[in-house]
Amino acid sequence: MISRVFINGLDRRGYIFLAILAAFAVAVPVLGSTGVLPTYTVSLFGKYLCYALLALSVDLVWGYCGILSLGHGAFFALGGYAMGMYLMRQIGARGVYGNPVLPDFMVFLNWQELPWFWFGFDNFAFAMLWVVLAPGLLAFVFGWFAFRSRVTGVYLSIISQAMVFALMLAFFRNDMGFGGNNGLTDFKDILGFDIQANGTRNVLFLASAIALGLGYMICHAVTTSKLGKVVVAVRDAESRTRFLGYRVERYKLFIWTLSACMAGVAGALYVPQVGIINPGEFAPAKSIEMAIWVAVGGRGTLIGAVVGAFAVNGARSYLTGAAPEIWLFFLGGLFIVVTLFMPHGIVGLARDGWSRFARKRPPATVPGE
């Protein structure tokens, strides 16, 4: 039943996207193992896949529900911290200070015992449960109060940014028990495998690709269902939808919470591939960048979010190495250009171009006429 909803509901673009993603997921590890691609490239592309899943979650709430979230970095970072806590518990006696129970930063800060909220994170299943629960619970509580109070538009965007900024300040504190300014880093193992080994990097890359594919199918199933049609109606005419008898806040809360859980999964897959999670991931600028990815790729298209995440982060990787002083100017200029001249993003531009080409093509002739 579930597979029928996810697979049979896909359109031609969905099948093409999943086919390209599958080819990409196979080609990159193979090319990395044979030396055609540098070894670090697998982790770099894995990071892009995590960003693509994150952008997909932002597109779900912004493109289809009309909620411009400027605080999705909070959900991404919480998922990342849940994974980081598990990875820190795997270091054990091999840490710098040799304490098998306390993470190294706690020994350095003279903590005497493990905080209660760290218990259970030595178990992978428990940690993965909190990868979803931590951002999901935060989103549910935040959304419950915001949507019931009918906070919408720019006010909701500002409140969401205030939320992520407050979390950033809290996680910077050493007494919070999350590593303070340095965060969590120097990971060794994941599920008993060396996290730096090429085989482990390949598996993490494949896991990121699978998560992106599943995330796309979930978003597609939601947006093409009856629920999705109501959500789009909420985006386009919230007051009219409410007057028709729909409990608008419930639909918005569901989409908001689902999106947060997806962002948490993206954060959890991101951390072992980059090797660190710190309060910088809560920075409001990070959440603004996520909205730019979606705008560049094409809001309300799902595939556009993935395209935008790869395009902008690919440009970032190149420009921060070739001309780091112009990166922020490029990013700001890109957002202005997209807003003024490409309101539907890269995917919308390609779609409009194909429509014009199709209209100009001469009609097919039947032989003998």
Q: Taking residues 105-113, what's their average pLDDT?
A: 87
Whether residue 260 is predicted with pLDDT greater than 50 in this model: the reply is: yes
Question: pLDDT class for 358, splitting at 50, 70, 90?
Answer: low
User: Which H or E run includes 68?
Assistant: none
- What is the per-residue pLDDT for 2? 45
User: Looking at the DSSP assignment, which residues form a beta bridge with residue 185?
Assistant: 276
Domain boundaries, given as residue ranges, for the chain: 2-283
- What is the per-residue pLDDT for 104? 85
Question: pLDDT class for 13, splitting at 50, 70, 90?
Answer: confident
- What is the per-residue pLDDT for 1? 44
Coil, strand or helix: which one is 192?
coil
Taking the C-alpha atoms of residue 29 and residue 32, their distance in angstroms, rounded to an integer, is 5
pLDDT single digits (tens) 52-86 = 999 999 999 999 999 999 999 999 999 999 999 99
Q: Taking residues 355-364, what's their average pLDDT?
A: 63
Q: Which of 164, 145, 142 is nearest to 73 (CA)?
A: 164
Taking the C-alpha atoms of residue 98 and residue 101, their distance in angstroms, rounded to an integer, is 9
Instruction: Report the share of the chain in percent with pLDDT over 70.
Output: 93
Taking the C-alpha atoms of residue 142 and residue 257, their distance in angstroms, rounded to an integer, is 9
Taking the C-alpha atoms of residue 348 and residue 62, their distance in angstroms, rounded to an integer, is 16
The answer to whether residues 83 and 126 touch, using CB atoms and an 8 Å cutoff, is no
The answer to whether residues 6 and 221 touch, using CB atoms and an 8 Å cutoff, is yes
Whether residue 357 is predicted with pLDDT greater than 70 in this model: the reply is: no
Instruction: Report the share of the chain in percent with pLDDT over 90.
Output: 72
pLDDT single digits (tens) 180-231 = 999 999 999 999 899 999 999 999 999 999 999 999 999 999 999 999 999 9
Q: What is the DSSP letter of 100?
A: S
Question: pLDDT class for 347, splitting at 50, 70, 90?
Answer: confident
Whether residue 367 is predicted with pLDDT greater than 70 in this model: the reply is: no
The answer to whether residues 281 and 77 touch, using CB atoms and an 8 Å cutoff, is yes
Taking the C-alpha atoms of residue 40 and residue 24, their distance in angstroms, rounded to an integer, is 16
What's the whole-model pTM score? 0.92
Taking the C-alpha atoms of residue 119 and residue 133, their distance in angstroms, rounded to an integer, is 16
* DSSP E strands, the chain: 184-185, 189-190, 193-194, 276-277
pLDDT single digits (tens) 129-156 = 999 999 999 999 999 999 999 998 899 9
State the average pLDDT for the chain: 90
Q: Taking residues 360-364, what's their average pLDDT?
A: 61
- What is the per-residue pLDDT for 365? 54
The answer to whether residues 149 and 84 touch, using CB atoms and an 8 Å cutoff, is no
Question: pLDDT class for 355, splitting at 50, 70, 90?
Answer: low
Torsional class of 368: left (φ above 0), alpha (ψ -120 to 50), beta (otherwise) = left
pLDDT single digits (tens) 295-320 = 999 999 999 999 999 999 999 999 98
